[in-house]
Structure 1
Amino acid sequence: MHNIDNHTAQLGYWIGVPFWGKGYCTESAQRIVDFAFKKLELEKIYSRHLSREAAPGKIMKKIGMKHVMRKNGALRVNRLTEDLDYYEIQPKEVMELKPA
C-alpha cells in the first residue's frame, strides 16, 4: 500500500513453505526497500506481522527495520484475537544489500 500524500508505503510478503529459510524474503524485501527509497523517494516504509510468528520480524530486522510497537488484540481472525508487531524504516536507516 502506497500513500502518496505522506510518502509512505507498507511492505508485505508471503512465500510458500518449500522456499522458507533460503533467504528469498530477505533479499526481495531489501531490494524493494532500496527501490522505494531510491526510485520512489519514499520517506518511510512500515510493516507488521502476527506477534506469535517470529520469522517475519527477523526478516524485517535483517533489512534494517526497527520494531516500534506491539499492539495487543489488534486483529481478530477466526474468532481468535491476535497481537501485531509493527516495524518501520526511513531512508537514513537503510542497509545496502551486498552483491552475491
Structure 2
Amino acid sequence: MSDFMDFLRHKYAYVARGEFKPGTFDDAKALFDRAVATYHQGFEGAYLLQEPGTDRGIAIVFWDNQEDMEANRNEKLDEILNEMSHLFVKAPETAFYEVSSEIKKHEPVEA
C-alpha cells in the first residue's frame, strides 16, 4: 500500500525567473550549484535553464514538500544566496508550485 501512496504523492517545485547582469551567468551558475549542494532532506533535484545568448534564466528546484524546502535553509545557503544577489539586474520572480504531472522518458524495450 505504501508504493501506491507514494505514487499519489506530488512533488513541489520552487521556480525563480531572473536576469543577471551582463556576463555574470557563469558566476551565478557556479553559486547555484554550490547552493543546491547544501540541500538534503526532501530535495528531489534541480535545473538551471539559460535562455540562449542572454543572461536570463530559470531555476527549478524540486522538493517533497514546502516544509522540507524551508528546513533546508541554513547559514551556508544564506551566504551563497547573498553572494548571488548582487549578480541580478533586479530581484527574481519566485513561486512555489505543486507538480501536477511528471512524465519520464521510457527506455526502449528489446524484442
Q: TM-score, normalised by structure 2?
A: 0.29
Comparing both chains, which one has the higher relative contact order based on Cα–Cα distances under 8 Å and sequence gaps of 6 or more?
2
